[in-house]
Structure 1
Amino acid sequence: MARKQTLVLVMIVVIYCHARLQDSYSKLQYGHRLDRKMIDSFVNFSILDCAEECLRTTRCKSVSYYKGTNYCETNYENKSSASDRFLESPGWIYSEKEDWDIDIVSSCSASNCSINEKCKSLPMGKFKCVLSDCGIPSQLGVNLSSVGRWEGIGIGRHMELECFQNYKQNGSRVFRCQTNGQWITDLICEKH
């Protein structure tokens, strides 16, 4: 009798989980993406892998996904906070973090990772927090609207930023996100 009860319980959990994922899939926005607000990107991901990466990353608010190449971008903004960067883009799929059930990331659903960290699942229902990004550069005089299409704030990523028009630029425009979670650059923007 115990075996029958276990089987029924497993079937109920599977049906419940499937129904919750079906609801998340119904909220996907086809033909749209968020541009130039990327944390990191990944290849050979499914849309579910992409959503899970966002759920594990504390700073992530949305994802942009290109099904043709199984390409995923995690974003530090969403269409509400960056409406000018929410674009019509054929072939892309846009989704927001809150459209997905946090329970799909198992042990990471209870993580307390800091804003620049993401959760990595460990065996036995445990997890650890690891650095995910360097945050938004906050250097004086730097124009963040000059971010390039493929640039991100994730560990190992880079950005090429310009100074505002009324600032003189000295040094390289390149900001590199180091493994310690700090930006490295020699760019100095001096007010005219």
Structure 2
Amino acid sequence: MPATPPKQNMTDEQQAQMLQAIKTGLRWAAGEIAFDEVQWTLAKPRYGPIKRGIERVYRYEPAEATLEFAFNGNQSDDSHHPPKYFQLRVNGDLTTHITKENFESYLGLHRLVYGELIDGVRKEQGHFFSPGLGDFLGNRNRVGLSYRLPLAADSLFDVYVDISFEGRNDPPDYASLETADNMRSVTITRTYLTPAELDERRMADRQK
């Protein structure tokens, strides 16, 4: 069998381009920019549109990573096809060397805290640190970090950011995974509140 080629470290320029792509996906998912501005920033997609159930998916495949912008055709709001998710997957022959501190402040993300109030009413159900992600992905050296983008208290949707890193599997405390800097994927999802959640918020507002 041929030897596996060694991984290359991302250059500073590649890191900056990847962080810009993530920020563009985040702003799109949050409704700050339309897809026209995404194309102005990243150029027109090389592949797409691709129909996948109710979604339209536009894909970019630059040298560093694969980017996907998926539209939710089953959700109605002010736009014709609102965002569903953005995903970035780093190419396997590159090591990113991007720590969580690098992107948390740059992207303005809030680490999930289980039980924390999101909009003064709903309680957060997710956790920030998920070392068990490796079992799901078939790679025990993977860890997931989960964030929420702070939005207005009356927002009709939440925006969550899930990032996977590769480190070294070292239970029971997974210390090396907590400081892993080899980012492998980023998924940004727009999730609409249910009618029951909207009713709960309205009732809480009337009781203030």
TM-score, normalised to structure 2, is 0.22
Structure number with the higher helix fraction is 1
Query: Highest CA radius of gyration, 1 or 2?
Result: 1
TM-score, normalised to structure 1, is 0.24
